[in-house]
Amino acid sequence: MTEAVVKPYDINIRKDMFGKIKIKGKDSSQKYVKITLGTLAVLTVLAFSTFDYKGVDIIKAIAQTLANMKNMFFEAELTHFTLSDAIHEMEITISLAFLTTVIGSAVALILGLFAAKNLSIPLVSNIIKAIVSFIRAVPTVLWVLIFAVTAGLGSEAAVIGMTFHTVGYLIKAYSETFEEIYEETLQALKASGASWWQIVFQAVLPSSMGYLLVWTFMRFEINFTNGVAMGAAAGAGGIGFELFMASDFYFNIREVGFITISILICAISLEIFSTKIKVKYLK
């Protein structure tokens, strides 16, 4: 009996003039990708060529932009507050991110258990996931502005709005992590007479703790960047508010550069720490 050979791709093998073998796959998806990229390139060129620049000299504008970038990043300095003040404002922003992450992760951990399909009944899981999808669909800044109607602009509205979005984000992350647990493990524990809470504390949480930690710290990074934005948009204070004042009120490019570099250094430090956590707990 002959066996059918299934070939997912038609491959042409040919040699070039130097004797090297060239392998070329006839994948139709590659053709559509090239067509899409080519269309986007043509539209980009067409947009730049037909854009109304309103008499702006592009060459001078680019030169001025480069000069501003040079002043911003290579001649950065503080004018309206000291270095100790800048460190204090950065601590406020980090504290805002830390507080919203801690509160949001605590709430999301409980609701995430009930949102997981293998730990909850389908009705409860679907309701929680539907609500969470709506929460995530609304940007963080809009939640902050919504709560600012009752709490007023400031750190209170920023904390509530950022926590609200953090809960929606982490519930999805946590519930999907719980759903990755082998169903055989849960069935074995149920067959041995283990209660729901025993299954959670003896199997679910220990086996998924590394992933929960990584997701939580990833959200902490997001909350740090949101905290910078909320400092300007909602008057929550911190380094974001100083960046807003330096750019829109004082018009000090060099101070904007110093604050931007400070935020970049802090973000890179968080990313390095996050990478070390992933390497340690997700081996």
Give alpha helix (H) positions in the chain. Answer: 28-50, 58-74, 83-115, 122-137, 140-151, 155-179, 183-191, 196-199, 205-233, 239-244, 253-281
Rounded CA separation 125/174 (Å)? 13
What is the residue-averaged pLDDT of the chain? 83
Q: Comparing 77 with 178, which gets the higher pLDDT?
A: 178
Using pLDDT thresholds of 50, 70 and 90, give the confidence band for residue 23: low
More confident residue, 28 or 265: 265
Does the pLDDT value for residue 8 go beyond 80?
no
Query: Is pLDDT above 80 for 29?
Result: no
Q: Please give the average per-residue pLDDT across 135-155, as a whole number.
A: 84
Residue 111 has pLDDT above 60, yes or no: yes
Q: How does residue 1 score in pLDDT terms, banded at 50, 70 and 90?
A: very low
Find out whether 227 and 141 touch, Cβ atoms under 8 Å: no
Q: What is the pLDDT of residue 25?
A: 54
Structure tokens at 240: 């974001």
| Residue-wise pLDDT tens digits, 154-176 | 788 888 889 989 999 999 999 99
How far, CA to CA in Å, does 73 sit from each of 79, 93, 102, 228? Answer: 15, 22, 34, 19
- First vs last C-alpha separation in the chain: 46
Indicate the pLDDT class of residue 244, thresholds 50, 70 and 90.
Answer: confident
CB atoms within 10 A of CB 255: 23
| CATH top-level class of 83-281 | mainly alpha
More confident residue, 76 or 107: 107
- Inform me whether the pLDDT recorded for 30 exceeds 90: no
Residue 211: pLDDT above 70? yes
Question: CB within 8 A of 144, min separation 6: which ones?
Answer: 157, 158, 160, 161, 162, 230, 233, 234
How many percent of the chain have pLDDT more than 90? 26
Q: What is the pLDDT of residue 224?
A: 92
